[in-house]
Amino acid sequence: RPCSTRVAQDGINKPVIDRIIRVDHAGEYGANRIYAGQMAVLGRSSVGPVIQQMWNQEKDHLKKFNELMVAYRVRPTVLLPFWNVAGFVLGAGSALLGKKGAMACTVAVEESISEHYNNQIRTLIEEDPEKYKELLQVIKQFRDDEQEHHDIGLEHDAETPAYSVLKTTIQLGCKAAIFLSERI
């Protein structure tokens, strides 16, 4: 008996959609863990409400990708337990460097994710923009939210003295996480 939340699978490029939804779910899960780590350290500081606001949006993103995983019948990455720990450690670790460290982490991650979402938007448009209209709308909205988080990070002094090294390191980790979560 069909589930009412399922999407018709006819004519979709299942491998492409599976990869997109799997990796985006993992990314939003990781983002939630990063913000949880930052809040554990900086939640009662002056930047706590800013982090909480961004985290609330990430919670909404994760909820939507949980729904899409059911609708498209996509399994999660087997790496979720690792991203659970790694995300929290990255969030808490960057927050232990202070507000600037946490915001530098936010900028680095959100810049990587915005770029990643842009690549997915291009892929879906090349595939069939009408067929993937709903998914495109979701990804475009979330990309815009991530770009807003990036800008908030810059507004809150993300550019620390070691910013470029921290940013590069975090972005390499993001690229590796994206690569692995798409496939595993």
Q: According to the annotation, is 110 in a ligand binding site?
A: yes
CATH for 14-183, among 2.40.50, 1.20.1260, 2.20.25, 1.10.101? Answer: 1.20.1260
Q: According to the annotation, is 25 in a ligand binding site?
A: no
- Is residue 129 pLDDT above 90, yes or no? yes
- Is residue 81 pLDDT above 90, yes or no? yes
Tokens representing 32 are 């939630």
Average pLDDT in the chain:
92
Summarised one tens digit per residue, pLDDT across range 110-120 is 999 999 999 99
- Is residue 52 pLDDT above 70, yes or no? yes
Q: According to the annotation, is 127 in a ligand binding site?
A: no
Distance CA 69, CA 151 (A): 29
Q: Note the pLDDT of residue 162.
A: 75
76 phi, psi to nearest 5 deg: -75, 165
Which residue, among 119, 99, 102, 97, has the nearest Cα to 179 in the 3D structure? 119
Place of tokens 């842009």: 118
Q: How confident is the model at residue 2 (pLDDT cuts 50, 70, 90)?
A: very low
Q: According to the annotation, is 61 in a ligand binding site?
A: yes
Q: According to the annotation, is 134 in a ligand binding site?
A: no
Q: 0.75 exceeded by the pTM?
A: yes
Q: According to the annotation, is 58 in a ligand binding site?
A: yes
In this predicted model, which residue has the larger pLDDT, 168 or 70?
70
56, 111 in Cβ contact below 8 A?
no
Residue count of the chain, please give it.
Answer: 184
- Is residue 9 pLDDT above 80, yes or no? no
Mean pLDDT in residue range 28-41: 98
Q: For the chain, give every domain's residue range.
A: 14-183
135, 74 in Cβ contact below 8 A?
no
